A and B are shown apart, each in its own frame.
Chain A
Amino acid sequence: MTAPLIISGPHTHTLFTVSRTMLTVCAALAPATVFGLYQFGWPAIFLFLVTVGSAWLFEVASLWIAGKSVARFATDGSALLSGWLVAMTLPPYAPWWVGVLGAGIAIVIAKHLFGGLGQNLFNPAMVARAMLLIALPVHMTTWVAPVGLLDGPGFVQGLAITFAGSQDYDAVSSASTLSHIKSQIGAGASMGQITPDLADLRDRLIGLVPGSLGETSTVLLLLGGVVLMATRIITPVIPLSVLGTIAALSAVASTLAPDRFAPPILHLTSGSTMLCAFFIATDYVTSPVTAAGKLIYGMAIGALIFVIRTWGSFPEGVAFAVLLMNACTPLIETYVRPRVFGRTRTGKPLPIKPARGGKK
């Protein structure tokens, strides 16, 4: 008889594992991704594959250099998820090297230089996005109108667009909703004048608008978010606080000055608001753990997104808002702790109140 194992309890465990968590998130991302890939056609598909594939190769290389178990960590799904999220934020017709660069920044710089899985201070996908946005402002803001896989460039043309930087295919380049608003307001137009030019609400909800590869479909991202909450991968605190704060601030602003500020519904259905609220801001590693901390974190991100979009020089502020709050996470963690059972918030034991006397 082999001796039974002597390790401390508990001797039973949930079915949740790191890999399953990562794969569930990927599954929740899948509908919006598939829709985006279909909408933007072959170039988007190639870009997606290149980005995810190179993220995984960077992961393997980093693990190998760091002397960690490649077999163990390369299969945990975290690199897949990071690469996936990077790809979601890229313009669909961006050349292949933008995807590779983004994946490299995310995996090598933002993740492994900080110590690998669980150690990174900043969200890898958002680090990649912010760095690309600043380094390659043209590539990162060239949007095309979604025409569908069948009506867009063919397989070979798609290869040429992604890998050879071909300009042959005459894509309908167009501005994203947020950049359009930004440029028009900057030019002195009022919201009333801009609104008729924008895609209508239905298109924004479904995702029939120009934008990043996987960010366009509000409804499908929302669906993914609901799946994550239903499977208890995430709690609703961060998504609700991010969305609620953006909605509240823009509602106040647009009520006070309807000509200068976009209405809440526009904020919620454009840019990466939904992706951020459900998939980016909720990243375990870089967000606070306690519910109160999450609330502060989510509200601050929402407020920063609104501020950067409205007054900043970039039309979209999600990446910067998330990175700023990532930096504040350790601070929030230090000060916002759950109350310990039997103690007050300051850690003192609760006062002992005299017991209620016996009741006859």
Chain B
Amino acid sequence: MSVRSFATLFRPSQFFSIRGGVHPEGRKSLSSDCPIEDMPIPTLIRVPLQQHIGAEAEPVVKRDDVVLKGQLIGKARGPVSANIHAPTSGRVIAVGHFAAPHPSGLPIPTITIRTDGADSWGPRLGRLRPENASPEEIAAKVAEAGIVGMGGATFPSAVKLNLRGKYALHTLVINGAECEPYLTCDDRLMRERAEEIVDGIGIIARALGVTQIVVAIESNKPQAIAAMQRFDRALGIPLRVQVVPTQYPMGSEKHLVKILTGRETPARALTADLGVVVHNAGTAHAVHLAVRYGEPLISRVVTVSGRGVRRPANVRVLIGTPVAEVLAHCGGLTEDPERLLLGGPMMGQPIQNTRVPVVKGTSGILALTRAETPDLDTMPCIRCGRCAQACPVGLTPFEMNARIQADDLDGAGRIGLLDCITCGCCSFTCPSNIPLVQTIHFAKGKLAEQEGRKHQQEETRRLAAARKAREEAAAEAKRQAMAKRKAEMEAKKQREAAAAAATPQPAQHGEPLQ
């Protein structure tokens, strides 16, 4: 027994959990025993051009174009962006704006497709044999397929696959923690498609060039753990399943890495600085489909749950399907829900309009009833310190709240406003029910706006200066032109005068003498 293998017996995760964190009621049993089902193709599909972090995609189809399933309809623009594909075949009926699946409900560029029901595939992406492919080829394929992080952050995966050149990577962490209550889509996927996920993991690992793979799964998913534990290698790279404690926010990338490796990612740095890259289990599945079968990312598994839903389920939904259709597929709502969420109850976004589409980052559709949601009544802060105890980042949310309420954004910044991951533990645990997270969201948005305004002030100054310079240049040019003309006139006059002088005019000369 070598020293190394002995050392691996001591895994930090067995002894330490994350600092802070909370244990919300899981309520995963509502949907954890529902196998993933396919949804019939809806009549209308609305595909937003921005479903990812970064620049929005550029539409490459026009109104009345006929598109086939898997056809590129939005092209990635810039280094951080993602391709968008037609989820099924049909006719483009609008390239315009539609309400975003976002609390603001503001319109965003969206391509609307009337489906034809035939679901006929266009040409697929070229397949790749990952065993022989170079990392660059794999990354290019993933970029082509428009794959983004499926855990909710929706960061373009290809960008993460290309980290190999910049950092010395050694470990790939597959995030199957799924710490948000209610959500079971990753759980189901791991139980039903373990082999495909492991293949996807192997492909990612090859692209990153790592030497070990850790699959982190929370202890409340024994079947998923068992399913994944059947594998100890992915495309020849050693893989182990690490059971992590059930605690929110276990799925936070940096906290997961801390638990698995015992190392803390420095502020403003990436986990790649530690040699670790984290991908979601769902992303691995999407990578498998893209590389092995040439299928772009056009559908995803969504957990439909909450006590407001008649038949909670895990559904494979085409991207762009209206939320209302997914809810209708699940038997509709039992009562008017108090909140309708996209994502989990801790960090999910409330929506008002059920016509908004499911996008690549939508992990859940939750209809929460009055009984499931917190009381809205707030009390003053009693400084109990629960928020500070629960904060996995080590902030003092009550203090931050007080500063933000007093409009002291700079003060809030000094005590770590920008380090906040808005996981929601503080609000969750606050006995006074103070909306700490919303306050922090507000402050972050406000700060960004102020930055933007400062930037705009500078821009305005620059524009004004440019205009002034231009006007001056124009005036100068005019003046020079005038001067030139004047000089010419002068010269002409002189010439004329000279000419006149040269001509003898005795009569004139003689006159004054008199």
Contact = CB atoms under 8 A, between A and B. Distances in A.
Contacts of B381: 118
A278 to B, nearest CB: 16
B399 to A, nearest CB: 8
Q: Which residue among B336, B395, B427 has the maximum number of chain A CB atoms within 10 Å of its CB?
A: B427
Given A9-B346, A14-B431, A354-B168, 16 more contacts: A8-B438, A9-B437, A10-B24, A10-B374, A10-B427, A11-B339, A13-B373, A14-B24, A117-B379, A117-B382, A118-B381, A340-B267, A349-B267, A350-B264, A357-B168, A359-B211
B18 to A, nearest CB: 9
A1 B211 CA distance: 54
Interface in B337-359: 337-341, 345-352
A350 B266 contact: yes
18 contacts: A3-B352, A4-B339, A11-B339, A11-B366, A12-B372, A12-B373, A12-B428, A14-B431, A17-B432, A18-B431, A72-B379, A116-B380, A117-B382, A235-B389, A347-B416, A350-B267, A356-B170, A357-B275
B2 to A, nearest CB: 12
Contacts of A260: none
Contacts of B152: none
A343 B419 contact: yes
Contact of A12 (B25, B273, B274, B379): B25
B385 A290 contact: yes
Contacts of B275: 355-358
Interface of B: 4, 19, 22, 24-25, 103, 167-170, 181, 209-212, 254-255, 258, 264-269, 272-276, 336-341, 345-352, 366, 368, 372-377, 379-386, 388-389, 391-396, 398-399, 415-416, 419, 424, 427-429, 431-433, 435, 437-438, 441
B433 A343 contact: no
Given A6-B103, A12-B373, A18-B382, A355 B338 contact: no
A358 B428 contact: no
Closest 8 CB pairs of A and B: A355-B275, A13-B374, A10-B424, A289-B385, A8-B438, A350-B266, A342-B267, A349-B267
Contacts of B373: 5, 11-13
Contacts of B435: 7-8
For B266, B276, B348, B373, the residue with the greatest tally of chain A CB atoms inside 10 Å of its CB is B266
Contacts of B352: 3-4, 6
A160 to B, nearest CB: 40
B345 A12 contact: yes
Nearest to B423: A10
Interface of A: 1-14, 16-18, 20-21, 72, 76, 78, 116-119, 235, 284-285, 289-290, 333, 337-343, 347, 349-360
Nearest to A333: B399
A219 B273 CA distance: 54
A3 B352 CA distance: 6
Given A116-B380, A284-B384, A354-B168, A10 B212 contact: no
Given A12-B345, A20-B431, A7 B350 contact: yes
Contacts of B372: 11-12
Contact of B437 (A10, A235, A340, A343): A10
B106 to A, nearest CB: 12
A352 to B, nearest CB: 5
A358 B346 contact: no
B384 A21 contact: yes
A118 B401 CA distance: 14
Contact of B382 (A9, A14, A285): A285
A284 to B, nearest CB: 4
Nearest to A16: B431
A156 to B, nearest CB: 42
A215 B385 CA distance: 27
A12 B392 contact: no
